[in-house]
């Protein structure tokens, strides 16, 4: 039987430490004892929104400097999150532990969820969603950077209570954050998203802003290797939950050579087969479309690394001619399709 350890946050100003929840690997749906919050957060311009929980999965392979930058971007939000959950997917090591402890020492919004062993991002995200105190959950990857208006823009879009998942465009960078190499914009309307989910993941998953109740109603985040977010979006679509994408880029996505290696890894064909079968079982596609999807997506992944990188840049990125990357990070100019892979 698993165990959990919860230390209550300080009741004073936001200058105290973290609370810690330990989740056993043999009980992935174990939840903390905290209650959901239903009060509101006020933006700098006086608008009132439901409070937000940010979930940040972290594992030992993340560089401490990248995690520090990701956490810093959450502290710089125009609309502050009510709660920041750092889900430690197995032991982190001294460097990452120090970064998390550093933030926890100055920000009482931080709670650490410690998983006994590394189980993957799907398990970590599900643990975070279940432990969240609030209805709205923003995903934050440990090596990306949220722009200051991210939570404010997504909370504003969510305020009508209509959407179950809200994504946004994102700027891709390599190395230095100023070296913007591409812009990925997903389908913007409900109708286009409903069509797009039949062939590709319809939301840039690092930008996900999620209705926790809707996610849990369709089964939460499940383990589908490298496609756990696509699988969740497919189940939301099958359940009739509307989704939305914002055209403005709200996140800097760290693109590196490892990204392309993951896309063409040997196990990806099996993952593609599983995902296509899931789409069919959810009633979204029929067998002919399943095989057509599998053929196209597998052919893309089968390209040699150099060709894959070129094809990705050609098909899914927009560049600004005559300038380094896309120029201003907040410009939001131009559009591009995302491969959804």
Examine the pLDDT at 117 and tell me if it is beyond 50. yes
pLDDT band at 221 (very low <50, low <70, confident <90, very high): very high
Answer yes or no: do 115 and 206 share one domain: no
pLDDT, residue 303, reads 59
Pair type for strands 110-115 and 19-23: parallel
Report yes or no: 334 and 317 within 8 Å, Cβ to Cβ: no
Element (H, E) at 229: helix 228-238
Task: Give the domain extent around 232.
Answer: 162-341
Answer yes or no: do 211 and 335 share one domain: yes
Least confident of 187-201, 208-222, 237-251, 327-341: 327-341
Answer yes or no: do 320 and 259 share one domain: yes
Distance CA(236)–CA(208), nearest Å, equals 13
pLDDT, residue 287, reads 95
Distance CA(253)–CA(182), nearest Å, equals 10
Give domain status of residue 151, yes or no. Answer: no
Give domain status of residue 157, yes or no. Answer: no
159-182: per-residue pLDDT in tens?
Answer: 987 999 999 999 999 888 988 988
pLDDT, residue 72, reads 94
Final residue in a domain of this structure, among 94, 120, 145: 145
Give domain status of residue 154, yes or no. Answer: no
Is pLDDT larger for residue 263 or for residue 286?
286
Query: Which residues contact residue 27 at a Cβ distance below 8 angstroms, ignoring those fewer than 6 apart?
Result: 1, 2
234-280: per-residue pLDDT in tens?
Answer: 999 999 999 999 999 999 999 876 654 555 456 678 888 999 999 99
Strand partners, 19: 111
Distance CA(99)–CA(244), nearest Å, equals 34
Of 217, 237, 23, 21, the closest CA to residue 119 belongs to 23
Give domain status of residue 56, yes or no. Answer: yes
pLDDT, residue 340, reads 44
Give domain status of residue 116, yes or no. Answer: yes
Give domain status of residue 212, yes or no. Answer: yes
The predicted model gives 213-236 an average pLDDT of 95
Answer yes or no: do 216 and 136 share one domain: no
Answer yes or no: do 39 and 168 share one domain: no
211: left (phi over 0), alpha (psi -120 to 50) or beta: beta
Is pLDDT larger for residue 94 or for residue 316?
94
Answer yes or no: do 29 and 135 share one domain: yes
65-109: per-residue pLDDT in tens?
Answer: 999 999 999 999 999 999 999 999 999 999 999 999 988 888 889
Answer yes or no: do 83 and 41 share one domain: yes
**Token pair listed for 171:** 């700027």
Answer yes or no: do 1 and 87 share one domain: yes
Torsions phi, psi for 147 (to 5 deg): -70, 155
pLDDT, residue 320, reads 40
Final residue in a domain of this structure, among 117, 145, 173: 145
- The CATH number given to whatever domain includes residue 97 is 3.90.550.10
Q: How many domains does the chain have?
A: 2
pLDDT, residue 258, reads 60
């Amino acid at each position: 039987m698993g165990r959990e350890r919860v230390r209550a946050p300080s009741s004073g100003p936001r200058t105290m430490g973290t609370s810690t929840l330990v989740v056993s690997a043999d009980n992935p749906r174990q939840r903390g004892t905290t209650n959901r919050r239903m009060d509101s957060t006020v933006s700098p311009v006086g608008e009132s929104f439901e409070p937000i929980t940010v979930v940040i999965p972290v594992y030992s392979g993340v560089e401490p400097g990248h995690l520090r930058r990701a956490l810093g971007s959450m502290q710089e939000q125009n609309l502050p999150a009510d709660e920041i959950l750092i889900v430690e997917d197995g032991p982190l090591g001294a460097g990452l532990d120090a970064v998390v402890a550093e933030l926890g020492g100055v920000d009482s919004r931080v709670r650490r969820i410690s998983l006994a062993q590394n189980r993957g991002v799907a398990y970590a995200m599900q643990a975070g969603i279940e432990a969240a105190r609030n209805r709205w959950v923003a995903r934050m990857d440990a090596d990306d950077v949220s722009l200051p208006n991210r939570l404010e823009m997504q909370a504003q879009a969510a305020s009508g209570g209509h959407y179950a998942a809200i994504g946004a465009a994102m700027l891709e960078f390599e190395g230095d954050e100023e070296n913007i190499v591409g812009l990925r914009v997903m389908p913007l309307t409900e109708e286009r998203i409903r069509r797009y989910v039949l062939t590709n993941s319809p939301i840039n998953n690092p930008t996900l802003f999620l209705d926790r109740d809707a996610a849990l109603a369709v089964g939460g985040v499940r383990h589908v290797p490298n496609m756990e977010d696509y699988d969740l979006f497919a189940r939301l679509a099958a359940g009739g939950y509307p989704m939305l994408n914002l055209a403005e880029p709200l996140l800097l996505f760290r693109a590196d050579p490892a990204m392309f290696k993951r896309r063409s890894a040997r196990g990806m064909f099996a993952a593609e087969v599983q995902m296509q079968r899931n789409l069919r079982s959810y009633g979204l596609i029929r067998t002919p479309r399943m095989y057509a999807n599998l053929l196209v997506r597998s052919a893309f992944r089968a390209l040699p690394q150099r060709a894959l990188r070129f094809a990705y840049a050609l098909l899914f990125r927009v560049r600004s001619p005559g300038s380094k990357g896309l120029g201003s990070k907040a410009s939001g100019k131009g559009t591009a399709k995302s491969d959804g892979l």
